[in-house]
Structure 1
Amino acid sequence: MQLTRRTLIAVSLSLTLTLTPSAAVFAASPAPAKGEHGMVVTAQHLASEVGVDVLKKGGNAVDAAVAVGYALAVVYPNAGNIGGGGFMTIRLKDGRSTFLDFRERAPLAATKTMYLDKDGKPVKGASLDGYLAVGVPGSVAGFEMARQKYGTLTRQDLMAPAIAYARDGFVLNQGDAASFAGGAERLAKDPAAAAIFLKKDGKPYGIGEKLAQPDLAASLSAISEKGPDAFYKGAIADAIVKASGAKGGILAKGDFEQYAVRELKPVTCSYRGYEIISSPPPSSGGVIICEILNVLELYPLSYLGAGSAGTVHVMVEAMRYAYVDRNSALGDPDFVDNPVEKLLDKGYAKDIRDKIDPFRAGVSKDLMPKGFGESKETTHYSIIDKDGNAVAVTYTLNGSFGAGVVADGTGILLNNEMDDFTQKPGVPNLYGLVQGEANAIEPKKTPLSSMSPTVVTKDGKPFMVIGSPGGSRIITITLEAIVNVIDHGMNIQEAIDAPRIHHQWLPDTVYVEPFGLSPDTERLLAGMGYHLELADKTWGQAAGILVGGKSLDEIEKGGGARYNGAIDSRAAAGEALGY
């Protein structure tokens, strides 16, 4: 079905006055990193080096992903983890794709009302601070399943760099030091965490200083030697359970012993001839990215232009409708019948387009479902190897440094992922998401996520690997990077660096990064009825790879580098490394 002539004329004529010349906006982006044999893009430069070293030694992209995951747990402790969980999207050289869910689970003793007081009101901080906020970690189990099923190297080989950095220490650069400074107050509240991450005078480690983590080195060494049983059935689990019991938590040994990774079929959809391969429930990411792309597919975004009021209008409206579905209908597939087929249907996207007024902003409260009553400290990395195996990994502690607690002797920061559940329908979580019963707390349930590790293919070959941290904004960050490459012709670095917008249904606000829109565009959007909130800080740290050239134009002309990597300029400690 085609858009009506009225809609196309209305959108184009009323809004093309605000086309923004992209060259002027994105000229400051550095050139993408280039490589012919492999590419690793992470939020911490030492972890990127670890990944490239694995590829150079003959490991594949999955091997590198496992090594990077463990390395980030040491050198990027505000988000890298073995005390949290995440997702891995794998697209193999033979065209097969799969998805590993090693997200945290609710403890067996968890209850629907565990964060509410006697009057049924949320207790401030209960789902964010301390051991009651901790979900059962999944990263160790997830990395081992990935290595065993799809890797080629030994666990000892892949964990050795992380163990060395924990045992011998690593020197902090500016980005590392900034993250420690930002988390110092939180870390100081837990004696075990403070003993690791703060100096004796209580101050955080600074630029040029070395941080060693001997307890974490011992835990990693035990996992390297004995496998996941060392984490889930041995002394590490015992120490975490003991600390939880002593400090108000509900974790039990059975929570660790019963943890299991799920291997699921990825969500897939098509957009302008490209195939999107992304995260299924319990992540909302892939479904909602595809739902938004399906709505946008019949709008002339390349004609309207990046950053124009026309493009922003249709993107925000697509986001508005999709986030209603995200927040009200999706949840853990073991507990909820997710309407994935409906949400991915092109006919459903047409129904949404038909409801979008070309001249006016929608009203979120009018979309309230019947019966309706994640942090910047996630991290994403993208990897591709010489054979074209592509891996996208997003994992998290949720808030910065998670729950801010470490069980004595383990060196492991624990997550506060329980905040991603619906504490109470209609009450916002850490990221302002207002969610429903589908995401209510239940024992062994996985909270709904926005993490969106994504691989894009074209004509059966890898085209793009992309993802980002950013809580509820992960979806729109990843979406906008894809649109910037495919519709707006940006190179991979420009696409990731470009200013972002975000709308998540409630609150009914369009969030705009600094310098994201021109004043003329802002006035036009305000005149259409949008409430704009101009942020004083940027968000997200996307990590992407483009195959065959730095941009779509270079790919189509031929002659570009095989792999082109980009780490978000917002990521002070990150690096894209190719070889």
Structure 2
Amino acid sequence: MPHARSTIAVGLALALAFAPLTPAFAASPAPIEAEHGMVVTTQHLATQAGVDVLKKGGNAVDAAVAVGYTLAVVWPEAGNIGGGGFMTIRTKDGKSTFIDFRERAPLASTKTMYLDDKGNPVKGASMDGYLAVGVPGSVAGFEYAREKYGTMARQDLMEPGIRLARDGFVLNQGDAASFRDGADWLKRDTAAAAIYLKPDGKPYGTGEKLAQPDLAASLEAISQQGPDAFYEGPIADAIVKASAAKGGILAKADFEQYKVRELKPVTCNYRGYDIISSPPPSSGGVIICEILNVLEGYPLSYLGWGSADTVHLMAEAMRYAYVDRNSALGDPDFVKNPVDHLLDKNYAAEIRANINPYRAGVSQDLMPRDLGEPRETTHFSIIDNDGNAVAVTYTLNGSFGTGAVAPGTGILLNNEMDDFTSKPGVPNQFGLVQGEANAIAPKKTPLSSMSPTIITKDGKPFMVIGSPGGSRIITITLEAILNVIDHGMDIQEAIDAPRIHHQWLPDAVYAEPHALSPDTGKILTGMGYKVQGDPNWPIWGYGAGILVGGKDLAQIQKGGGARYNGAIDSRAASGEALGY
């Protein structure tokens, strides 16, 4: 047995009060500091729109609505009004809530709609074209949040997005790269190509201006008439008409019957920090908490960031949790989710008892009985002067969704139906092998990994965090939390640090470049792990976070740090953290 493997056995006998061992991440810039408010998004113009709202006296929810509509214009690969998402809110009085405005399956959808006559999935059917579109929820969600928790008029919050759509905005390098990567997908749809590609069929480049007059008109209608303009008026009619013409099943009743849900967030405690995150139909909060409960029994700070011991324990906790995610969770209106069991500290202890400290687990040994989302999503984090905190993750699913625009609307439509289980045991685009709990049904919401999360300490805001990343959203968000609490990184380092990921199946530890040293990789391979890079790199997901009271845990504990410390993932070329 290699001598290096003895450290887990030693570490488990030690107290958890060791000082964090902080690796150096020289490439990370310093977090952005502010005293009154902070907005962190994947696109700088959206960030500015949110900060402007805060400066005018709006609260964090107001800013979130402004950011959401602006991202629909300036970050169309994921920002949207043709998709849906989740919003976690913690108000200044300490109350928390969760708004589900995720897409829903159309009324005409069926459990087997993506299978051929032999019962096998039809390649691309759940991703490409109008048959892949779920009923959008973003417009309803933003208005619900604004009416119940915001303070400003809808017209004021939508003005930045309308102006940027009407007058256009100049693309920076990150924006241009996004359109370049999506050009082949967008050119397949005549209406989308007319908006996002130049007359010669090439994508817009750095320094060029993109205007979207049809989208501006749609946004203006929503601004003046509210959600009815989207769900009951000409916008819905145009989408339904295009769907019918191109093999989809969307009906006007799907739009008219769409309802936002307000749910109780998932909560747990990790080393004295209270985690507030997304409940089903998201798996994010449940699985983050399940993993944290398992890891709480180990001295990660002592074992060290990036060590073979730490990676081994993280991978095994992820392996067990993703089995539960993929087999047990679904829309709470359709299935009974065993949330209390999965969050039970005793259940975490049972998992720890089954983890061999010296060997990798085997995913096939955990096969459930009932088994036969990359940058396409975006996240933003906001906190205001009063301490109201908002975390929002919303999505079109695939990059630019279906790549389809109903003529005259300017609205890119999602391909969210791929998040359902088309057939138990068959992986979706993120490689997730899911079960019956997430089967397709009319008006059902597909299971998600989106994890907008707020963390408090002693009843006060501590951290706002989240990320896009498909099935990696959970582990990206988790690792940012661990990097701050266990490894002493500042918020920028915590988000920038290279990541690892295990999702049960495929049975492999995926690692970003520099996440594992050669020695660590060799030890893990010797333990039985399949360690590999990932074709989705370099963009697993763009984390966006805020730390309250200092740039890192040490500064917070000493006092004297900036009130708000914001960080956007350095991988996000167009993103910005900005406060005032």
- Give the TM-score normalised by the residue count of structure 2: 0.97
Q: Deviations over 1:296-319 (max 9, x none)?
A: 001000000000001000000000
Could you tell me how far 1:28 is from its partner in structure 2?
1.3
The residue correspondences of 1:169-568 to structure 2 (distance < 5 A) are: 169-535=168-534, 537-538=537-538, 539-568=540-569
User: CA–CA distance in 1 between the matches of 2:12 and 2:456?
Assistant: 30
Could you tell me how far 1:9 is from its partner in structure 2?
2.2
- Assess if the C-alpha contact under 8 Å between 1:484 and 1:490 holds in 2: yes
- Assess if the C-alpha contact under 8 Å between 2:42 and 2:542 holds in 1: yes
Q: Cα RMSD (Å) of the superposition?
A: 1.3
- Assess if the C-alpha contact under 8 Å between 2:7 and 2:309 holds in 1: no
User: CA–CA distance in 2 between the matches of 1:11 and 1:230?
Assistant: 60
Residue 9 (structure 1) aligns with? 9
Could you tell me how far 1:374 is from its partner in structure 2?
1.2
- Assess if the C-alpha contact under 8 Å between 1:12 and 1:310 holds in 2: no
- Assess if the C-alpha contact under 8 Å between 2:230 and 2:236 holds in 1: yes
The residue correspondences of 1:93-132 to structure 2 (distance < 5 A) are: 93-132=92-131
- Assess if the C-alpha contact under 8 Å between 2:8 and 2:309 holds in 1: no
User: CA–CA distance in 2 between the matches of 1:529 and 1:21?
Assistant: 27
Could you tell me how far 1:22 is from its partner in structure 2?
4.1
- Assess if the C-alpha contact under 8 Å between 1:313 and 1:525 holds in 2: yes
User: CA–CA distance in 1 between the matches of 2:340 and 2:229?
Assistant: 40
Give SS of 1:441's match. coil
User: CA–CA distance in 2 between the matches of 1:204 and 1:60?
Assistant: 37
Residue 575 (structure 2) aligns with? 574
Residue 40 (structure 1) aligns with? 39
- Assess if the C-alpha contact under 8 Å between 1:342 and 1:348 holds in 2: yes
- Assess if the C-alpha contact under 8 Å between 1:81 and 1:397 holds in 2: yes
Could you tell me how far 1:11 is from its partner in structure 2?
5.7
Could you tell me how far 1:376 is from its partner in structure 2?
2.1
Structure 1 runs of 4+ with >6 Å offset: none
User: CA–CA distance in 1 between the matches of 2:571 and 2:259?
Assistant: 34
Residue type at the aligned position of 1:9: A
Q: Say yes or no: does 1:28 pair with 2:15.
A: no
Residue type at the aligned position of 2:579: G
- Give the TM-score normalised by the residue count of structure 1: 0.97
Structure 1 regions of 5+ residues with no counterpart? 1-5, 14-19
Could you tell me how far 1:375 is from its partner in structure 2?
3.3
Residue type at the aligned position of 2:120: K
User: CA–CA distance in 1 between the matches of 2:23 and 2:310?
Assistant: 17
User: CA–CA distance in 2 between the matches of 1:267 and 1:532?
Assistant: 32
User: CA–CA distance in 1 between the matches of 2:548 and 2:22?
Assistant: 22
Residue 74 (structure 1) aligns with? 73
User: CA–CA distance in 2 between the matches of 1:232 and 1:509?
Assistant: 43
Distance 1:357 1:10, change over 3 A: farther
User: CA–CA distance in 2 between the matches of 1:142 and 1:480?
Assistant: 28
User: CA–CA distance in 1 between the matches of 2:250 and 2:399?
Assistant: 21
User: CA–CA distance in 2 between the matches of 1:174 and 1:280?
Assistant: 36
User: CA–CA distance in 2 between the matches of 1:235 and 1:252?
Assistant: 13
- Assess if the C-alpha contact under 8 Å between 2:22 and 2:488 holds in 1: no
Give SS of 2:147's match. helix
Distance 1:320 1:60, change over 3 A: same
User: CA–CA distance in 2 between the matches of 1:196 and 1:535?
Assistant: 32
Could you tell me how far 1:373 is from its partner in structure 2?
1.6
Residue type at the aligned position of 1:566: A
- Assess if the C-alpha contact under 8 Å between 1:47 and 1:75 holds in 2: yes
Residue 3 (structure 1) aligns with? none
Give SS of 1:268's match. strand
User: CA–CA distance in 2 between the matches of 1:12 and 1:60?
Assistant: 45
User: CA–CA distance in 2 between the matches of 1:497 and 1:161?
Assistant: 29
User: CA–CA distance in 2 between the matches of 1:86 and 1:51?
Assistant: 18
